[in-house]
Chain A
Amino acid sequence: MQQYSVPRLITKLLLPLILLFALYVQFHGDFGPGGGFQAGVIFAAGFVLYALVYGLDNARRIMPPWLLRVGVSLGVLIYAGVGVAGMLLGGAFLDYGVLDSHDPVHGQHLGILLVELGVGITVASVMISIFYAFAGRGR
């Protein structure tokens, strides 16, 4: 796709908006539709678009496969870690109410935010890794 300047330019314009929208969906999931899963997929879609237009090698340079492999497991670890943290603070597994010692509702907020972040990281990394696997295989 080196010779098509219009898709390259449009991608350059769209990419920050896509990634910003993914972050918005991620952290605004408490208030509007969306959440970690959707945000992860949108974030991955942004990278897929970049890789399609600018080539797989450039995409690999920005988001190297080792980072993705860390991300795939990091998200699940964050999720389970929030659950274990709740247990250490004296609650049940995945009971976010104890995360804030003063106000259980604040604890719920914090827990949901962290858990959704974990889901988002895992889903985005998984989608990009699968895309790398498919796109890298054909060459």
Chain B
Amino acid sequence: MLLSLLVVTALAVIRLRDLFAVVMLFGIYSLLSASLFVVLDAVDVAFTEASVGAGVATVFMLGTLALTTSREKTPGAHKPLLPLLVVLVTGAALIYGTSDIPHYGDPGNPIHQHVAPRYLEDSAEEIGIPNVVSSVLASYRGYDTLGETTVVFTAAIGVLLLIGGARRRRRSEEPPRPDREEEDA
């Protein structure tokens, strides 16, 4: 049910040319994905998807629309046959690949045989907090989370450098000095 709603939303996103509506549909898509994660018992992931995907990312995309335009350019005449073929072949290969994937929730799956049992059984003694997701993220996989935090940090640096950093604002507030204008030139 949720999956079919996801497909309908995705198709609507492809068909629509009004980018404002597309951004709203993306928010709905994220909310549906979050519900899907709740159904799969991944509440932490659902939480992130709902707050980032449906919340903040929508606002950022609206901000981008305000800076650019809210109408998608209509594409010129092109032949859709080759792209359609590529997409169909890739999709067929992916669907064929799913037949080899182990069943969802089967305790004999390889992913449940590696480190997961140790996390689930020993984290109460070793870390002592009830939320295993938190203990995996922050303690067992602390290096990864440090890396992720650094990625977020780097993303902010990149965005601030690209659009509207401190330099731009300072220049518009202060009266331009002659020597600075020479520097810019």
Contacts and interface: CB of A to CB of B under 8 A. Distances in A.
Given A108-B126, A112-B135, A134-B64, A38 B153 contact: no
Contacts of B130: 30-31
B19 to A, nearest CB: 15
Nearest to B161: A133
Contact of B56 (A30, A45, A80): A45
Given A30-B129, A72-B153, A108-B139, A130 B146 contact: no
Contacts of B163: 133-134, 137
Contact of A35 (B63, B64, B138): B138
Contacts of B157: 72
Given A35-B134, A130-B159, A96 B169 contact: no
Interface residues of B, number: 47
Contacts, number: 146
A121 to B, nearest CB: 10
A131 interface: yes
Interface residues of A, number: 53
B95 interface: no
Most buried by A among B130, B145, B159: B145
B166 A65 contact: yes
Contacts of A80: 146
Nearest to B157: A72
A83 B145 CA distance: 12
A108 B128 contact: yes
Given A34-B47, A129-B156, A48 B59 contact: yes
B60 A131 contact: yes
Interface of chain A, main secondary structure: helix
A123 interface: yes
B131 to A, nearest CB: 6
A23 to B, nearest CB: 14
Interface string A80-98: 1001000000000010100
Most buried by B among A31, A79, A111, A118: A79
Given A115-B142, A131-B63, A134-B60, A30 B55 contact: no
Given A37-B48, A72-B156, A127-B56, 5 more contacts: A25-B47, A104-B126, A129-B160, A134-B163, A134-B164
Interface of B: 43-44, 46-48, 51-52, 55-56, 59-60, 63-64, 66-67, 125-131, 133-135, 137-139, 142-143, 145-146, 148-150, 152-153, 155-157, 159-160, 163-166, 169
10 contacts: A31-B130, A38-B48, A69-B166, A96-B142, A112-B134, A116-B138, A126-B152, A130-B155, A135-B63, A138-B67
3 shortest interchain CB distances as A-B pairs: A134-B63, A126-B156, A94-B142
